[in-house]
Structure 1
Amino acid sequence: MRQFGFWFPVIILLVVAGIFWATRDMMPLEVVRVLMTVSIGVAGILLLRRRGAPAMLGIILIVGALWVAQPGVLAGKGEVKMLPASKAAVEQATQQGKPVMLVFSADWCPFCRQLERETLTDGEVARLAQQFVVFRVDMTSSSLPPETAELAKKYGAEGLPTVAFVDSRGEWLQDLTLVGYEPPRAFAQRMRRVLQP
């Protein structure tokens, strides 16, 4: 029985890495990446001290830790490039006949972070977003600048996150406005509806 005692710290470290992954919306993604890399890497190093199958598993865990350490691995497959929002920039984009997506978000909002990490990093969502001018409207401050408050009022951003769509004719598509989190597949369908003529 004593020979299996070396597994205990390894299992604890892997459970800790899993906890970091499960709570990734509560901390910055870079912190999660570092903590997961360290947990998985140390578990792998502990197993390397053994022979046979445990050592092989240790090598696999170390390779996994190096993979997790790469920027962007935990974030997803794509990236939606968001411009800082201003009334003039939004008006200019709508006058050019381009569809617009306004993402009303705040740093303190867990569902905003989840939307940005899981949905807006999805490959299909990122591909569709290339057909939009995408703005991030920062709602972090408790006292919003007048221009930000005006955009929030105009596009009905009463809860966070809110994603408002303006079609290529400059019309706000109120029925397609999203309030809250939405998984990538459903969000991509919403974007396709905006792009339909």
Structure 2
Amino acid sequence: MRDGRVIGSVVMVFLVASLSIIAPGCVKEKASSETVGTWYTSYDEALNLSAESGKPVMIYFWADWCPVCTNYSHETLSDPVVVKTLGEDFVLLSIDLDNNEQKGVAGMYGVRYPPATVFVDSNGNVLMGWYGYVPPEMLIPILHNVSAMET
């Protein structure tokens, strides 16, 4: 009987993981004129700005060949409420996993594939993070919680 529960749990985890990959591709892309503020590409610069401003850093790990990254950028990171919150409360760091100069940052945080989102304080300590697509309605409360953390 215990084996059945273990197998059921494994199947459930697989289904949830599959949906996070497949579902965003099924959603129609929506155009948005909103864009998030300045995305930095220098880890050191982002941490320095975080220390100066007292804002946490949102690190977005992505790649051109990643369709989930495209959906996340077009749907979630272009949502007007997300754009406003990110612009006001975070230092934004964009890490292209195909850029050899930026790959070291992925290694520092154990990121192996895109998309990944990691929030860090001004010392680079992880506040929280995840892999995959998160819709705007789920990201907004996360942003409010992270921005309220001490950095």
Decide: shared fold, TM above 0.5: yes
Is the aligned partner of 1:153 residue 2:107?
A: yes
Structure 1 equivalent of residue 137 of structure 2: 185
Conserved? CA contact 1:162–1:177, under 8 Å: yes
Q: 1:75 to 1:156 in 2, by over 3 A?
A: farther
Conserved? CA contact 2:82–2:136, under 8 Å: yes
Residues 87-146 of structure 1 show CA distances to partners (whole Å, capped at 9, x for unaligned) of 3212312321221111111111001001000000111111110111111111135xx22x
Q: Which has the higher helix share?
A: 1
One-letter identity of the residue aligned with 2:103: A
- Larger gyration radius, structure 1 or structure 2: 1
Equivalent positions of 1:11-26 (< 5 A) are none
Unaligned runs of 5+ in 1: 1-21, 26-73
Q: CA deviation at 1:76?
A: 2.9
Percent identical across equivalent pairs?
Answer: 31
Is the aligned partner of 1:107 residue 2:64?
A: yes
Q: CA deviation at 1:169?
A: 6.6
Structure 1 equivalent of residue 75 of structure 2: 118
Q: 1:169 to 1:195 in 2, by over 3 A?
A: farther
Conserved? CA contact 1:162–1:179, under 8 Å: yes
Give me the CA root mean square deviation: 2.4
Conserved? CA contact 2:96–2:103, under 8 Å: no
Structure 2 length as normaliser, TM-score?
0.70
Q: 1:168 to 1:140 in 2, by over 3 A?
A: closer
Q: Flag the structure with more relative contact order, 1 or 2, with Cα contacts below 8 A and sequence separation at least 6.
A: 2
Unaligned runs of 5+ in 2: 1-25
Structure 1 equivalent of residue 94 of structure 2: 136
Conserved? CA contact 1:167–1:194, under 8 Å: no
Out of 44, 50, 67, the position equivalent to 1:88 is 44
